[in-house]
Chains A and B, each alone.
Chain A
Amino acid sequence: MISPVALDVAHLFAGGLVLVSFMLLYQDRITGLINIFALHALVVSLSVAWQAYIQQAPHLYITAAIALIVKAIVIPFVLHRIIVRLGIHRTIEPVVGIGLTMLAGIGLVALAIMVMLPITTQAGTLAREDLAFALSVILLGLLMMISRRNAVSQVIGFMSIENGLILAATGAKGMPLVVEISIAFSILIALIVIGIFLFRIRERFETVDIHLLHEHRGEQP
């Protein structure tokens, strides 16, 4: 049986992840955004490591290590390099109405909790809160993807969604390793895709502002 303190710590990490998701929402500089994303990945890896400890599931340590090394260290480093090379590291990104975005975010978190808590009564306390927090992180990531126009920011939004998914998958106790591998796998592939895209977009437009892409629509709206 899991002790109450252990549960509290697990909830602390999961709740912290939601908070960091909110921090991602109001960053207006790309550099700051990348740094906060590194923090996001750090929190998720701590959370997964804690789950591995309390569930006595050593394979989860691998997931935690992958999250730490790839997402908290390597990807932020590469993204910093990319934005310096593209010359957008000093750019201030207009975030559409911070107040409104934050309000929408709070609404989404409330929605996630209202949806998840009543229906997961049988799933056990650990999975229950974790799933509610994970859904919040996913929804906040989606919100970020639609409220940003810059390709780098959208990619970060996508990766924060992935973090939320990892939280959900580890919260579901005993889920086979297949899924953890698959998550790591999909991140790697996504990264390759993203890398190629960033380079190609750079080649063509000298910018990574997705907004400019829309001028090239093949058809009238």
Chain B
Amino acid sequence: MTEPGALVLGAILLIPALGAALLAFLQDDRASAWLNALVSFLTFICALILLHERPAPGHFLIVDDLNAVFIVLSTLVGFTTSVFSGSYIAHELESGRLTHAYLRFYHSMYQTLMFGMNLALLSNNVGLMWVAVELATLTTVLMVGIYRTPAALEAAWKYFLLGSVGIALALFGTILVYLAARAVVGEGLDAMAWSVLVQNARHFDPALLNLAFVFLLLGYGTKVGLVPLHAWLPDAHAEGPTPISAVLSGLLLNVALFAVLRFKSIMSANPAALAPGPLMVSLGLLSVVFASFMLYRRQDIKRMFAYSSIEHMGIITFAFGMGGTLANFAGLLHMTLHSLTKSAIFFCVGHIAQVKGTQRIAEIRGLTVSHPVLGWSLVLGVVAIAGLPPTGIFMTEFLIVTSTFAREPVLAIVLGMSLLVAFGALLLRLNGLAFGDPDGRSDPAKASLLPVALHLALVLVAGIWLPPAVVAWFQHVAALLN
């Protein structure tokens, strides 16, 4: 038990849990924002240590190559978002949108969310993973509704209803997986430990697995925001506090996708079962096509970037569905870069909505003139997310499209066209937002742009030069996913 890896593994779960409890009672606003950032930072450090000190897998928790990528990304964005959240929330308090009691609630829920996500990523038990994803979802439901405006309440209610349908479907799928495993592994915890499941998957009853995967894909797919199960996503992003939009887009969608990937590898290990790829490819492609056209009609800036998240989750699902080392590699890298870029964009958007006092795209103009730093950061972020070279997202989209071309040219054409459509929509809106004569309300920006700068720098560097160690690591994971 004194193994260092096990200690760190415990710490990565205990720190956010303790933080949540502590923050629930801390009265001072400034101190709690700092504590929130500190707790998130410690969690991030633990995640980094975990890369080197890997404990042996147990019945409930596991660290392997796949979830190591997710956990580091998750805790990093969790930390930078908590830094951004500090300056964002201070403004919300001044403008009276949040009271002190709600702020305590907000900070406590933020750490609960981190706890839920870390637990979901590290769990070796499909039931435990389900519980953790639910915990994370419910905390975000509460936070989406925190402003208590009619629109926020509607968004939260919609999120809650669709999310609970997802809960139900995913749990039913989990039960079916257990049934399939029980016939081979025997009763008890082993039949739910995913490391055991993968090893024995080739003996499972394929019919049961097929049905289970359909339920799991639809259930967790609701949380990934795949079309046609996406209806909650734009509302939840637009009405909640912006740090939560950043965490939702950057992290929670990934966690749900991670759950799908775990079950996908069980499916792939069984030759008689349905190939999971085509299902994921079609859902992913549908999301990309749908979201890229929907981008044109948005009038709310946060809603627009929410649709962009649907598009990118579609791309990632598509890539993992295509499979193969190259597509998996590109999908994994795309996911990482999308998390970093999209959360950076939401950081900018949060400050922009505060200085302009509105989220309506039509009322925001000429940001590069009125707020040069903020405006240009947004320009950089949007250019990166639209997939212009030399940013990393260009490279991954290029890899995904070309690797698809070699195997399914028709799909590649559809994907490539939708990417262009989305690209056009984003640049069109960006033109109006960032350039031209500024008008309307314009408060001075009191923003901490350090998180934005960090994320964008990482994305830019990734497009030009990826450290060989990272490439090797991602390639290894991509090969494992096959």
Residues of A within 8 A of B (CB): 115-116, 118-120, 122-123, 127, 131, 134-135, 138, 141-142, 145, 151, 154, 158, 161-162, 164-165, 168-169, 172-176, 178-179, 182-183, 185-186, 189-190, 193, 196-197, 200-201, 203-205, 210, 213-214, 216-220
Contacts and interface: CB of A to CB of B under 8 A. Distances in A.
B156 interface: yes
SS class, residues of chain B in contact with chain A: helix
B134 A186 contact: yes
Nearest to B145: A200
A178 B171 CA distance: 12
Nearest to B238: A218
Given A138-B168, A165-B172, A216-B151, A174 B138 contact: no
B125 interface: yes
A57 to B, nearest CB: 10
B165 A142 contact: yes
A189 B154 CA distance: 19
B127 A197 contact: no
A190 B138 contact: yes
Contacts of B38: none
Interface of B: 125, 127-128, 130-131, 134-135, 138, 141-142, 145, 148, 150-151, 153-157, 160-161, 164-165, 167-168, 171-172, 174-176, 178-179, 182-183, 187-189, 191-192, 205, 207-208, 210-211, 234-235, 238-239, 298-300, 303
B142 A193 contact: yes
A120 B192 contact: no
B50 to A, nearest CB: 23
B149 to A, nearest CB: 8
B168 A190 contact: no
A115 B148 CA distance: 43
A218 B131 contact: no
A141 B235 CA distance: 24
A212 to B, nearest CB: 9
11 contacts: A116-B211, A127-B179, A142-B165, A165-B168, A172-B178, A175-B175, A178-B131, A178-B189, A182-B130, A200-B148, A219-B299
Contacts of B183: 122-123
A218 B179 contact: no
B125 A218 contact: no
Contact of A186 (B165, B167, B210, B239): B167
A175 to B, nearest CB: 6
A169 B175 contact: yes
Contacts of B303: 218-219
Contact of B157 (A123, A131, A151, A179): A151
Given A151-B157, A190-B138, A200-B145, A120 B208 contact: yes
Given A123-B208, A197-B156, A219-B303, A190 B182 contact: no
A156 to B, nearest CB: 12
Contact of B175 (A118, A168, A193): A168
Nearest to A180: B127
Given A169-B175, A176-B188, A186 B300 contact: no
Contacts of B238: 218-219
Contacts of B172: 134-135, 138, 165, 168
A169 B175 CA distance: 6
B127 A115 contact: no
A190 B145 contact: no
A206 to B, nearest CB: 12
Contacts of B189: 176, 178
Given A161-B168, A204-B153, A219 B300 contact: yes
A141 B142 CA distance: 23
A178 B192 contact: yes
A169 B176 CA distance: 9
Among all A-B residue pairs, the 6 with the closest Cβ atoms: A174-B187, A119-B207, A216-B150, A182-B131, A213-B154, A161-B168
A145 B205 CA distance: 33
A133 to B, nearest CB: 13
Contacts of B154: 213-214, 216-217
Contacts of A189: 134-135, 138
Given A145-B161, A186-B131, A120 B168 contact: no
Nearest to B214: A115
A154 B298 CA distance: 29
A68 B72 CA distance: 43
Contacts of A172: 175, 178-179, 182
Contacts of A201: 153, 157
Contacts of A145: 161, 165
B150 A205 contact: yes
B164 A190 contact: yes
